[in-house]
Every structure is written in structure tokens, then in C-alpha cells.
Copies of this chain bind each other. A is one copy, B any other.
Amino acid sequence: MGERRLFRIQRQELLMDEVRQRGAVRVRDLAVRFAVSELTIRRDIAELAAKNLLTKVHGGATQPSDLARPAPVRSRRPASPRFTIGMVVPSLDYYWPTVVSAARMAAAALGVHLQLRGSSYDSGEDRRQITRLIEARQVQGLLLAPTLDGEDVEGMAAWVGSLPVPVVLVEREIPRWTSTSRQIEWVRSDHALGLEMAVRHLHQIGHRRIGLVLSKGSPTSAYLATGWARACADLGLPGDLVLRESVALDVPGHREIIAGLLARCRASGTTALVVHSDPDTMSIAQFCAEHGVRIPQDLALVAYDDEVANLAEPALTAVRPPKAQVGRAAVEMMVARLAGGGRRPSQRLLVLPELMIRNSSAPPARSSG
């Protein structure tokens, strides 16, 4: 058939074709097919293997494979997988202490070390802290809660995805797709469902006009708004009673804001409020007490974020995000990844909040009709 002997390049082209088609080639077969000596084929294979286009094996060649690579230089401590995990959280005095302490306990239980860095709700500071941890070369993995609210969300996401160590996001989620090949893992509370639980609870005990008070600028606000919209749509409630203002005691002018809020409630017949974060809820409760609005008879309250809700008077019904479980699960996920040898599929864990029913929620004083 082959009247003219093929050029080396042509032979190699056909050889690669065969490899791609069948997954492997045999020196013997190719020597016959191309009517050249086996030595020539071997030389072709060696050449292609040097370019990493295929893997040379005894007797032939196969597709590029990592298995052929010489055993990874694993002369390091063979036993005692005492990993060190870095953790960067945006705050050390709100929300995160519970998460961190659970992470600490889980790390201790698993025999790994946890290195904590506080950051702020600022991408630049996040990057700085993360870079410091990486450059110290002490951490094998990172638990991160970066701020993804800024303008450069995509850039930050891509940067996080390109870090040289495995990453598990905590209470955060990379939006849409990241260009990195390995999808980033995360663990977070299902805040949207938590808010739905609050609304459903109020709906179930008879409330038909429910309002929502969101803190400004909190990363969880978006989830809460989503849950709010979903719950209102499902239950056929008006979804427009939303206030996006912080009303905690340390906010200047909070009394005026609350007064306005209560006026709106009266005007619209709103009998219940879901309020983001305990201090804001307690601020409202206190204002109500001072102005003769009875909790829960005149206004039912559900706090989102059960830090101190049980200390209020009356004790506040509250949605409790599963902070401890999130912290623990994040550490466990990271340890599983580090111990899994890089071949474990990524996971994404949603942990559901709990609804703690206390005394600030009760059926509305007079049912309509």
C-alpha cells in the first residue's frame, strides 16, 4: 500500500491519531503497519513522550497519564497528617465567634491546627490576610468568608479560585461559574429558608400582613430578601412591606425610624415583623414597650439571628442560623479534602436554621372578618 515511505511527522501524526482513537498503541503493530523497524517507532514514541503528548510504556504508548509519573516525593512526615488550616472571617465580634469556636472544636477533635485571621467586610483586607497566610506557607487549606459585595465580584471569585491551596467558603457562595477547573466548595446556612420559616410560622398562627426589616449592608440580606420573596409568593402575601434600615440602639435617629415603621404598620394593618438581627429586634421591642404597643398581642416579632433573643423581655421568637454546625462542617469538609488525595468530588452543604418559638410571636389580637 504505502508506495512511498512516510515522513517522520506523518508517522507521528498517525500514531497520535491511533492513540487518541484506541487509547494505546503497540510498538510491534505500528512497526508492521508503517513498514519500519520497531526501533524507529520507539524513537517516535520517545519524541512524543518528551512533549507530553503521550505516555511511553513498556511495549508501546498510551494516552498521557499521571500514573506513570514517578511517585510523588512524599518524604515528608509519613504519618501524623497534622494539617494546618487557615481561616479568615470578616468579623470577630459579631456572628462569627460562634462559627469560629465550633470550627476550633472540630479542628481539635480531628487533630488539625486552625490558624485564625480576622478581616473586615472589605475585599482588599481579605486579600491581604489571605495572602499573608499563603505566603507563610504554613497552611494546607483555607476556610474563607470573603466579602463578595463590591464591584469586582468576578475578580475576587477568580482570585479565590486560583489560590494554590484548597478553599472552602464559609457562609459564602461563588456566584455562577468560576473559571477555575475545580469548583469551589462551600458550607453555608440556608438563610433564605430560615426567613421562610419565620414567615410561615407567622402565617400559620394567623398573620396576614407581615413586614420585614433588613439591616443595611449585611451579606446575608440578599438571602433574606430571597426567602422573603419566595415565602410571600407562595403564601400570597403582599411582599412590599420591607424596610431596609438598621434600627439598633446605637444607630443615630433610630427612634424616628422605628416610629415611622410602626406608623406604616398601623396604616397597612401589618400585625407582625421579621427583623434582621437581635439588637434591632430588641430595639423595636423596647420602643414598643415605651409606647404602649403590646408584644405580641399588638405586634408579633420574629428576630433573625438568635444571639441574645432569649434574654429579651418578652423572650423573642427567633430564627437561629446554624453557626456552630457551619463552622464544624467547614473544618470537616476541608479535612476530608486534604486527606482525600485531591480526587474527591467537591461538595456544597446547606445547613438549615432552626426556628426558636418563644413569646414574641402569637396570633394577632383580633382576627379579621
Contacts and interface: CB of A to CB of B under 8 A. Distances in A.
Contacts of A52: 72, 74, 341
Among A10, A79, A111, A200, chain B packs the most CB atoms within 10 A around the CB of A10
A172 interface: no
Interface in A158-187: 176-177, 183
B346 A349 contact: no
Contacts of A329: 347
Interface stretch (A12-20, A149-157, A210-218): A12-20
Interface stretch (A63-71, A135-143, A264-272): A63-71
A365 interface: no
A289 to B, nearest CB: 11
A296 to B, nearest CB: 8
A347 B341 contact: no
Contact of A352 (B10, B66, B73, B347): B347
A57 interface: yes
Interface string A343-363: 111111111111000010010
A122 interface: no
Given A23-B359, A59-B7, A64 B339 contact: yes
A16 B73 CA distance: 20
A110 B71 CA distance: 10
Given A70-B79, A177-B234, A345 B339 contact: no
Interface residues on A, range: 35 or more
A352 B345 contact: yes
A64 B73 CA distance: 18
B177 A183 contact: no
A49 to B, nearest CB: 11
Give the copy number: 2
A322 interface: yes
Contacts of A60: 7
A259 interface: no
Given A9-B57, A58-B7, A341-B64, A315 B48 contact: no
A54 B343 CA distance: 10
Contacts of A325: 344-345, 347
B22 A10 contact: no
A27 B291 CA distance: 30
Interface string A64-107: 11111111111000011100000000000000000000000000
B352 A346 contact: yes
Interface in A111-125: 111
A240 interface: no
B74 A359 contact: no
A349 B352 contact: no
Given A9-B57, A52-B341, 17 more contacts: A7-B24, A7-B58, A7-B60, A8-B58, A10-B24, A10-B62, A13-B62, A13-B65, A21-B359, A48-B67, A177-B196, A183-B193, A183-B352, A325-B344, A346-B352, A348-B350, A349-B349
